[in-house]
Structure 1
Amino acid sequence: MNSAARRHCLPLSALLLSPFSVAAAPSPTSLPAVQVQAARVPGVDPFALPASLDTVWIDADRSGPNTQLSEALGGVPGLLARDRQNFAQDTQLSIRGFGARSTFGVRGVRVLIDGVPATMPDGQGQLSHASLLGAERIEVLRGPFSALYGNSSGGVLQVWSAQGQAGDPWRLRVNAGADNTLSVGAQLRGAGKGIDYNVAANHFSTDGWRDHSRARRESLNARLGTELAGGRLELLLNALHAPNAQDPLGLTRAQVTADPRQATAVAHQYNTRKSVRQQQAGLRWTREAGAQRWQLMGYAGQRAVSQYLPIPPSAQRNSELHAGGVIDLDGGYGGLDARWGWNGDLWGRPLDLVVGVNADRQRQHRTGYENFIGSTVGVRGRLRRDQIDIVQNVDQFAQAWWQWSPRWSLLAGVRHSTVRFESDDRYIVGRNPDDSGRRRYQATTPVAGVSFEASPQWRLHAAVGRGFETPTFNELGYRADGQAGLALDLAAARSRSLEVGSKWHAQDGRQLDVSVFRADTDDELAVASNTNGRSTYRNISRTRRQGVELQYRQPMAEQLELQLAWTWLQAQVRSPYLACAASNCAVPDTVVAAGSRLPGVPRQQAYARLQWSPGDWQWALEAAASSDVVVNDIATERAPGYALLNLEAGRSWTLQSGDLRAFARIDNVLDQRYIGSVIVNDGNGRFFEPGPDRRASVGLQWSWR
């Protein structure tokens, strides 16, 4: 069964299913039991939780490159994961419209990999070091209960690797495709002599579909476990090396029309590029004893980033406050997490409690350099910025799940977060003063929801909660008034979320899940100006995100399965504010009226997959569609909607020494021109990142025990 199809998706009423009831359906394939932790209730079936939670299973027989998480997330409603055809920037990820404004990395969504945060304490995260090769599943949590993960939790995405078991296969995998794209990986998984292991290493390289988009990545992910002190101890290792990934930058509409594969001229002129090197390790100890359970986790890592931007020398020469056209970040991060759980009874009814505390800290040495020496551009020149940035949080949380009657249950929780920012300026030259500063943000975010069992196969739920989102260090970096120093006047955004939903899961494998949601935000963070390579931010008054999510799965016949997902999302401004109408505008001058759309958020998304698996063969037809997207606050530009078809085929052979699988995939079968992703509020009007034309890839996988 395909990973995109294997998920919990449950529904509104049997009436909605009546058109499909004529199809014969085999008994559903049993899935391995897992301890879903996305809602911090490890002892409770996610079907009984008042939350929208999907589990995407990563099958070993996946087709395609297997290099980016976006390959596996197309069928999750409410989630937008866009491949930018630009490995110098991370996958664009947003959930229910949160995170859509991010121009790089992941913003507004919490990301964790094997329980280790991939989102820093300030809310800035990345997906680049997550591995599909070693992953077992991806959990996606949407709605009010995301707030239990603290700062910038508009949604939560967790990647979990499998625990090695005796007899697990080892495998080698190679995939090759257009544009000299090559992915080679190896996974060693198993158990023996008191140790279990899951180690995955991968090499990826491509010349890129667009000009000036060559990239290379090497990654290693490992999960090693053993028994210790009556519990389980796990060592989690991760390494990523991505040197000199070329950045083709965005295109204007005219450039897209002329040649969507081109790179902006300044990308060549300045050789825009980005290098990343990251290593991290974590230790997690868990123990269950009777009704109690404990978990202790600690992690630490080092991340270095160097990026060359196309900022003209004139902008840097004309201002002593300019930080230059080369960004260099180098620093460490780490954290601790401790929690205690208990399950028992309250007044004779099941009760599950979790309480805990966690602390995270990042210390980053941020330097900036001119991107020119004399008349030569695209090189590292004179120092223009030198500061130590520290951000740390200390959070406490508690949660209780209580089934107070045979058909009703309550899930409630609260989290208190304190996030501290501190910057020590070490570049004090001429008219550039000491820009040191500090700021503290605090928030208490309560969440509660109820679930009603209408029948053993049908659940109804409702949930409400509050959340908050601090500025990141990138957003604090410049003041909107153009003066020196950090934008320490920025407030944290505060949100109120509501969700009602229905989950239905028939024993014959049919599943339907429907959710209706609304999130109102005060002090939303938005771009104030974009000029000379500097983005400044400010708080706007009120925004609203509301919509409907639906997903459905139908076993139609033996070895034939249909999966559907659809999202309608209205994300708009509720209070007017001023924004910049022209490129390099320093002072907002145009009214954005109440009711205007938030940029980067499509009104509708749809996904369908029909998979047929006769014997040793596997065939799949996949469709993905998106409506148009506004790309700037004043809505003068937008990316049109699109619909794409993809095809997959695979064949397996069982041999005496192992299993061999050959597979192929064709993306964009109809060779459509479309905009794959957008750069929201780009200061030069280069909003568009075109998606590729028809692409084919083939691969082989060898598995043995």
Structure 2
Amino acid sequence: MLLGLPAQAGELPTTTLDRVQVQAAKVHAVDDFDLPASSTTLGVDADGNGRGAQLSEVLGAVPGLLARDRQNYAQDTQLSLRGFGARSTFGVRGVRLLVDGVPATMPDGQGQLSHFNVFGAERVEVLRGPFSALYGNSSGGVLQLWSADGEQGDPWRLRSSYGSNNSSSTGVQLKGLTGAMHYNVAANHFRTDGWRAHSAARRESVNARLGFELAPGQRLELLFNGFDAPHAQDPLGLSREQVRTNPRQATAVATQYNTRKSVRQNQAGAVYSAERGAQTWRLMGYAGQRAVEQFLAIPPGPQNSPLHSGGVIDLDSDYGGLDARWALHGQLAGKPLELVIGANADRQQQHRTGYENFVGSTLGIKGRLRRDQQDRVQNIDQFAQAWWQFSPRWSALLGARHSQVQFRSRDHYITAGNPDDSGSRDYSATTPVAGLVFRASDDLRFYASAGRGFETPTFNELGYRADGAAGLALDLAAGRTRNYEIGSKWRAQSGARLELALFRADSDDELAVATNSGGRSSYRNIGATRRQGAELSWQQPIGADQQLQLAYTWLQAEVRQAYLTCTGLPSPCNQPANEVAAGTRLPGVPRQQLFARWQWQPGAWQWAAEVVAASDIGVNDLGTANAPGYGLVNLEMARQWTTLRGPLRAFARVDNLLDQRYIGSVIVNDGNQRYYEPGPDRSFTVGLQWQWAR
């Protein structure tokens, strides 16, 4: 984007460019509109009318993306892109996550959204399709959260809201410029009793971004993030009958074992960038610690096996990494050329312990040690990317990445009945991508792209063998994906924008659940799968004070090659006997999604209405059960007053206005067939926000 500054008498007009961000699939001085990729940028409105507690609140307008609030703060938001990651029952899989350029996805591909501080954010960028392969170990896409850069005159902000289920959120943001330091510090406190029984939670988060102009063309950014969520209660999933009788209940064993999860994470990073003529350098380093303790509802019986690792998971992780990139902004054969070359290395060292979740006849407390191992995973990647406008109407974007991921595990819990489970496994892949853009007119583009991706198992998926024997599942292969996309982009001077993408992703050796029993899931590689569909996004101003926004996705995700799987008892299952037929839908993926929003801002008032809809989804690999589709209506209103020190704003939001019963999310392949996590009935949020100038 270009910002033209008024010319003074006798002076030439000047132009200020946005700050350079050298990233994979992002090209200096080239608009996303001219790239052969599906990329959506959402502004995180400081005048939003929701709770601001979870990232899922701002992601509805991204086609191809499914972000489901589970009404369970002991589990992360369910996030999938074009069907990748939908099977994950913990964390985020198949989607690369970053915060201010710092990875929130570990080298094994496991990511977390919990520490994303929405209150201090400026925008969210979502990249879908082949070019996400340039970010490494993921197949579905990339999601990045960016904090605002403090500038002179930025107001400070205080925001507080209260809503249904005794939910409250209070945030403070300090943003501005003092001396040579740009600063943005945002802290937020959230608590709720939960819509379902046994689902109370509390969260504190703080995020800080400090920028220093060291010299002309040189900048240093310091990034800090802290997150604490102690004892978030887990109500677990419900059966279909339980949902019918009382969707707000918790499963009986949830209270019996007091299922809960505590998470604490702190991390810091630094980014140095320098521009020297046509060259740009960027160096990023980060390090952090994350501690997780989770109490599961596993009965003492299964834990009698000497190979069982207990009903309490205790993880302590240290992680960090480096990323170095060089960019050249020049010409090739007299035509504009942008070249990026870089490398990065990331490492996670995790101390994984397991304990019994009982002592004597008392349940839900930490008992004897049953697992003690040191896990390490690291990656070393190299990548290159080139954008070349080889004619006035044509441009090309080419790239490749080589990744090597190493897993190492050392077992320190060795008994007569539990042998040494130590082991290691290495994975490597080269993922090329290419795309072409045709400039039909100033406001219309057509493009095509293709590429390959790969996805390794995570340490959680390597943790248990399907046959129940000791040791890691080191026979698991990495999934490989071939991605194809064609699309068009149109925009008008009025601000209207229309984008359409048709895509296909064919995968081999995809990971699926092999057995799920006794509180433990094991995995296996299955045959070919396919995800194909269409995405449509449309933004349309209506007059000077109204806006219409639409995002629609049609997605066919299915098994292409039949395979056998295990269901129910006995466990472990050494001989899978249940066939998943070719053509069976992949679980967790709706065929259709729709988001529509109309907003009207007459003067100091703001009004908005939303429609959110999704078709039914399967809940298990066999395709024998599903969750019905739903359509919800949400309303917002706000009023702003001008005060001597800054604007004061009151807002209100009603979710599920028509009080529909629906399934908000599902637990894919739950061993107890408690697949369903109901969504809340009609709920409200009201709040105040004050921004004051200093």
Is 1:444 the counterpart of 2:444? The answer is no
**Contact residue 28 and residue 338 of structure 2 kept, 8 A:** no
Match of 1:313 among 290, 300, 305: 300
* CA displacement 1:389-428 (0-9 Å, x = unmatched): 0000000000000000000000000000000000000000
Q: 2:538 — aligned with what?
A: 552
The equivalent of 1:137 in structure 2 is: 123
Cα deviation, residue 507, structure 1:
1.0
Q: Residue 257 of structure 1 aligns to a residue in which SS?
A: helix
Within the alignment, does 1:418 sit opposite 2:417 as a pair?
no
Letter in 1 for 2:138: S
Q: Could you tell me which of 661, 676, 680 is aligned with 1:688? A: 676
* Residues 464-507 of structure 1: CA deviation (Å, up to 9, x unaligned): 00000000000000111111000000000000000000000011
Q: Pick closer, same or farther for the CA change 1:261–1:244 going to 2, 3 Å.
A: same
What is the CA RMSD across the aligned residues, in angstroms? 1.3
Candidates 220, 240, 261, aligned match of 2:227: 240
Residues 332 and 363, structure 1, Cα contact 8 Å, conserved in 2: yes
Aligned mates of 1:583, 1:56 — CA distance in 2: 46
Whole-Å separation in 2 of the counterparts to 1:508 and 1:299: 42
* Counterpart for residue 62 of structure 2: 76
Alignment map for 1:433-472 (pairs within 5 Å): 433-472=419-458
> By how many angstroms is 1:584 displaced?
6.3
What is the one-letter code of the residue matched to 2:166? N
- Counterpart check, 1:636 vs 2:624: yes
| Native 8 Å contact 2:517 2:568 kept in 1 | no
CA 82–35 in structure 1, closer or farther in 2 if over 3 Å, else same? farther
Which amino acid counterpart does residue 223 of structure 2 have in structure 1?
L
- Aligned pair count reads 675
Q: Bigger CA drift: 36-45 or 552-561?
A: 36-45
Q: Which moved more, 1:256-265 or 1:150-159?
A: 150-159
Matched residue SS, 1:395: strand
Contact 2:28/2:329 (CA < 8 Å) preserved in 1?
no
Alignment of 1:281-360 (within 5 A): 281-317=268-304, 319-360=305-346
Secondary structure of 1:358's aligned partner: strand
In the TM superposition, what whole-angstrom CA distance separates every residue of 1:571-613 from its partner, at most 9, and x where no partner exists?
A: 0000001122336653232100001000000000001000000
Q: Which amino acid in structure 2 is aligned with residue 293 of structure 1?
A: T
CA separation in 1, counterparts of 2:443 and 2:571? Answer: 56
User: Alpha-carbon deviations, 1:630-656, whole Å to 9, x = none?
Assistant: 000011110000000000000111111
Question: Deviation digits for residues 483-539 of structure 1, max 9, x if unmatched?
Answer: 100000000000000000000001122211000000000000000001111100000
Partner of 2:214: 228
Q: Which residue of 2 aligns with 1:610?
A: 598
1: CA distance, partners of 2:592 / 2:391: 38
Maintained 8 Å contact 2:549/2:597:
yes
Q: What CA distance in whole angstroms lies between the structure 1 residues aligned with 2:409 and 2:80?
A: 29
Distance 1:415 1:479 in 2: 31
Q: SS of the counterpart of 2:165? A: coil
Show CA shifts across 1:535-573 (max 9, x none).
000000100000000011111222011111100000000
Q: Distance in 1 between matches of 2:551 and 2:283?
A: 37
| 1:252 and 2:239 are equivalent in the alignment | yes
* Contact 1:236–1:282 (Cα < 8 Å) also in 2: yes
Q: Which has the higher contact order (CA 8 A, sep 6+)?
A: 1
Is 31-40 or 453-462 further displaced after alignment? 31-40
Check 1:589–1:611 CA distance in 2 against 1; reply closer, same or farther (3 A cut): same
Deviation digits for residues 219-254 of structure 1 (CA, Å, limit 9, x no counterpart): 000000112255100100000000000000000000
Query: CA shift at 1:430, angstroms?
Result: 1.4
Q: Counterparts of 1:385-534 in structure 2 under 5 Å?
A: 385-534=371-520
Distance 1:583 1:128, change over 3 A: farther
8 Å CA contact 2:465, 2:522 repeated in 1: yes
What is the deviation of 1:108?
Answer: 0.5
Say whether residues 1:673 and 2:658 are aligned partners: no
- SS of 2:134's equivalent in the other structure is helix
Shift of 1:41: 1.7
Letter in 2 for 1:252: S
What is the correspondence of 1:53-132 to structure 2 with a 5 Å cutoff? 53-132=39-118
CA distance in structure 1 between the aligned counterparts of 2:613 and 2:201, rounded to whole angstroms: 28
Is the 8 Å Cα contact of residues 524 and 540 (structure 1) preserved in structure 2?
Answer: yes
Task: Tell which deviates more after alignment, 551-560 or 298-307.
Answer: 551-560
Q: Distance in 2 between matches of 1:150 and 1:193?
A: 38
After superposition, what is the alpha-carbon deviation per residue over 1:307-358, rounded to whole angstroms, capped at 9, x for unaligned? 00000001001x1000000000002000000000001110110000000000
Work out the CA distance in 1 between the residues paired with 2:241 and 2:80: 27
Contact 2:159 2:689 in 1 (8 A): yes
SS at match of 1:124: coil
Question: What is the CA-CA distance between 1:40 and the residue it aligns to?
Answer: 3.3
Matched to 2:297, the amino acid is P
> How far apart in 1 are the matches of 2:472 and 2:91?
21
Q: Retained in 2: the 8 A contact 1:38–1:139?
A: no
Determine helix, strand or coil for the equivalent of 1:313: coil
Equivalent-residue separation in structure 2 for 1:51 and 1:454 (angstroms): 16
AA aligned to 2:254 is A
Q: Secondary structure at the match of 1:335?
A: strand
2:559 is equivalent to residue 573 of structure 1: yes
| Matched-pair contact (CA < 8 Å) for 1:173–1:702 | yes
1:656 counterpart = 2:609: no
SS in structure 2 at match of 1:541: coil
> Residues 172 and 668 of structure 1: is their aligned pair in 2 closer, same or farther, counting only changes over 3 Å?
same
The answer (yes or no) to whether the contact 1:109–1:154 under 8 Å persists in 2 is yes
**Alpha-carbon distance in structure 1 between the residues aligned to 2:513 and 2:221:** 42
What amino acid is aligned across from residue 258 of structure 2 in structure 1?
N
Aligned partners of 1:529 and 1:584 also within 8 Å: no
| Native 8 Å contact 2:207 2:224 kept in 1 | yes
Equivalent in the alignment of 1:15: none
* 1:621 paired to 2:595: no
Is 1:265–2:252 an aligned residue pair?
A: yes
Alignment correspondent of 2:5: none
Work out the CA distance in 1 between the residues paired with 2:543 and 2:570.
Answer: 58
- Alignment match, 1:595: 583
Q: Which residue of 1 aligns with 2:13?
A: none
Q: For 2:224 and 2:393, locate their aligned partners in 1 and report how far apart those are by CA, in whole Å.
A: 43
Q: Which residue identity lines up with residue 630 of structure 2 in the other structure?
A: Y
2:610 and 2:633 in contact (8 A); partners too: yes
Q: Is the 8 A contact 2:139 2:481 kept in 1?
A: no
Q: Percent identity?
A: 68
- Partner Cα separation in structure 2 for residue 228 and residue 544 of structure 1: 50
Partner amino acid for 2:532? Q
Structure 2 counterpart of 1:647, from 635, 644, 647: 635
